[in-house]
Amino acid sequence: MTDSLDFVVVGGGSGGCTVAGRLSEDPGTSVAVLDAGGSNDNWVVTTPFALVLMVAGNVNNWAFNTVPQKGLNGRIGYQPRGKGLGGSSAINAMVYIRGHRADYDQWAALGNAGWSFSDVLPYFKRAENNADFDSEYHGKNGPLAVNKSRTGNPVQEIFLQGAREAQFRLREDFNADEHEGLGIYQLTQKNGERCSAARAYLHPHIGNRANLRVETHAHATRILFEGRRAVGVEYRQGKELKQIRARREVIVSSGAFQTPQLLMLSGVGDSAVLGKHGIAAVHHLPGVGQNLQDHPDFVFGYMSDNPNFNGISLKALPRLLRAIGQYRRERRGPMTSNFAECGGFLKTRPDLDIPDIQLHFGMALADDHGRKRHRGTGFTCHVCLLRPKSRGEVTIGSADPFAPPVIDPNFFGDPDDLETMVAGFKTTRRLMETPALRALQKKDMFTEGVHSDDDIRKLLRERVDTVYHPVGTARMGVNDPMAVVDPKLKVYGVEGLRVVDASIMPTLIGGNTNAPTIMIGEKAADMIKAEMRAG
């Protein structure tokens, strides 16, 4: 007999955990969550420093690759994505950023009623338990813990001094009325431990809510339809192929890559593409997998003798051992580091209304996402382009649900993106050449001898890749032939199917995408509850 629940959520990432956690608050509503990974409730996930063990390899990580990128000299890019409960919030750098109010006002201006900044702010606040800030912009009672860094790293002060010397403004709270400026990021941490979306919304309730069922190592293979109505999900768990039925809705929360993949495998997508792989179309929806947007990112890297940086060296070993002891005792110090401890938002031109680049200043030398190792200690400064014009796509290479999706971010597909990145490079270099930050540099690893605009363009094509913020592949829209969901996040042309994750974003927000995805989960749960009350 096939099990039957009110809602089946496919994917326990930031959107899925949030919507499942909120819907299951009502004991009369039954919810199942399926995730292909594990429960992600061990020290590798909860210890912030251990993200180095996950991002560069396949621990709790799908570790996808892109197709060769024309704009990056044909290089294949790398796309780490969280696998297991919490999704990418279990492996990310924990930076708590919402984006600019203009980002959400643009969504509303595109016809998506209910998605302006004033509409979504209550959901950001509802999610948030902010230990440091208390204003009209912040919440104190939500499940998601948000705190200042607990590393006590003196380099933070050196970074701020560099910002002053470069004459950039300093910003304490990046999530208030404005966010231009540099400062120290707030993090999704609780008592020095990572607070993933699973830790906030799911883990406390597993075993305590009879109406919440969480299935791990459960890889969804297709959505089941009766006519045009989604009625359940087929999934593989171990060697068994199983089915679970949804009385009310199937909610797809598999992320910007795997949500469109699952929709296509299930017959929802461009029928010509589906036909090529022998998949019968349930509904022709050409926008599925289109509109992929991501932040292209360049990394400045330096070796340094400063004892407060991380790296591979015998000299760094005693510091690491001391740090582990301190973390065990008081949940403070270097082991609480998210690496990207400082950063902020800058304009490449003074006439811009809002910042167009974001910096992440890292307390270790990371080369190729940490996959290329260098002996010694050092640091990095990332610069990413916040609102790229390039659009890519996600598609399927076969009807095999276990094959990875085919990912094409199309970095620098629009030539304007490269030119803005050149300006972003120069703006960031201004900071790196301040006396405060020059004093930290023993060796420039990537940008030595790079001076002219042509030098910069060449280097960007050689080294740019993602900063892990893919969105948009099931975009929300109205009177838009390429929209996949409506403003209630219901999939067009079918019934009983909703998408709740970053893939619904019509445009990429100017900042890290985890907090906005949790907001989407909060708002979706609210909309669903309102519909249930209305009968």
Residues annotated as catalytic (active site), given as ranges: 469
Rounded distance, CA 192 to CA 117, Å?
A: 30
SS3 for 376-417 is: EEEEEEEEEECCCCCCEEEECCCCCCCCCCEEECCCCCCHHH
Rounded distance, CA 71 to CA 69, Å?
A: 5
Rounded distance, CA 247 to CA 442, Å?
A: 62
Q: How many Cβ atoms from other residues are within 10 Å of residue 128's Cβ?
A: 28
Q: Which two tokens stand for residue 203?
A: 């883990």
Q: Which residues contact 6 (CB under 8 A, 6 or more apart)?
A: 23, 29, 30, 31, 246, 247, 248, 249
372: β partners: 367
The length of the chain in residues reads 535
Does residue 155 contact residue 379 with C-beta atoms inside 8 Å? yes
Does residue 102 contact residue 116 with C-beta atoms inside 8 Å? no
Does residue 115 contact residue 487 with C-beta atoms inside 8 Å? yes
**Tokens 């909703």 sit on residue:** 498
**Tokens 């838009």 sit on residue:** 480
Residue 331: is it exposed, middle or buried by C-beta count within 10 angstroms (0-12/13-18/19+)?
middle
Rounded distance, CA 164 to CA 131, Å?
A: 27
Report the b/e string of 441-467 with b at 16+ CB within 10 A.
beeebbbeebeeeeebbebbbebbbbb
